[in-house]
Amino acid sequence: MRIAVAGATGNIGALTATALERDGHEVVRISRALGVDLQTGDGLDAALTGVDAVVDAVNAPAMGLDETIAFFGATTRNLLAAEARAGVRHHVLLSIAGLHRVEGNAHYSGKREQERLVSEGTVPWTIVPATMFHDFAEMVADGAEKEGVARIAPLLIQPIAPADVAAVLAELATGAPAGRYVDVAGPGTQDLVDMARRTHQKRGRAVELVPTWSAVFGPSMAGEVLLPGPGARIAPTTFEEWLAEQK
């Protein structure tokens, strides 16, 4: 199959493209760095020529609520419109498990708009809600760090390895549209602060971690809000296994 990956220079996009190629598929990589601008649509028609399916793994930079919704709205509308013109038969969207249980978060609001556009569009679709990734804790801590101190929320999550997410996306992209797929998660629950601490230890970094609900993520994300729902698909790689491979 000829499959396009939007956001192909990002972490999940790159891994998905590699997984598809490993399985013998022809991959079209889509990103602004490669000459295709999803926000304007420039280059999309040419990129999607002869494409059977599209995987959307685009991520948004950190922005405010309105800007994030506008970003995901523009990229998704342009992508879906170009897919319709090209006769693409399957749109696969990477989304977030627990997305509709969280209010007031700009990224989650943008992803909800993205889901709405995909589900109301004319291109047959599959939405894949995944839990946070194994590298999420380190990313949050790094973004919050000031003068050696990082204030982060003690979120309860069931993280998944990025390569496992990519494998699921690659698998589903080659199959029939499935609508809203089950949540995809890793095999065990973790505390975000503990994950960050262990990742920093592995990398030899000394950062003071302060658990607080007054940081980026508030108490609306406490408890089991971010855990996968019933019937979730459990990926194999544990956080410990992933961490052991880090340098």
Could you tell me what percent of the chain has a pLDDT over 70?
100
Token duo for residue 187: 């095999």
> What is the model's pTM?
0.94
State the pLDDT at residue 19: 98
Beta bridge partner(s), residue 53: 3, 90
> In this predicted model, what pLDDT tens digit does every residue of 117-144 receive, in sequence order?
999 999 999 999 999 999 999 999 999 9
**102 pLDDT exceeds 90?**
no
- The pLDDT assigned to 217 comes to 86
Q: Model confidence at 170, in pLDDT bands (50, 70, 90)? A: very high
Per-residue model confidence as pLDDT tens digits over 25-81 = 999 999 998 999 999 999 999 999 999 999 999 998 889 999 999 999 999 999 999
User: 2-244 has which CATH code?
Assistant: 3.40.50.720
DSSP 43-74: THHHHTTT--EEEE-----S--HHHHHHHHHH
* pLDDT single digits (tens) 182-238: 999 999 999 999 999 999 999 999 899 999 998 878 888 889 999 999 999 999 999
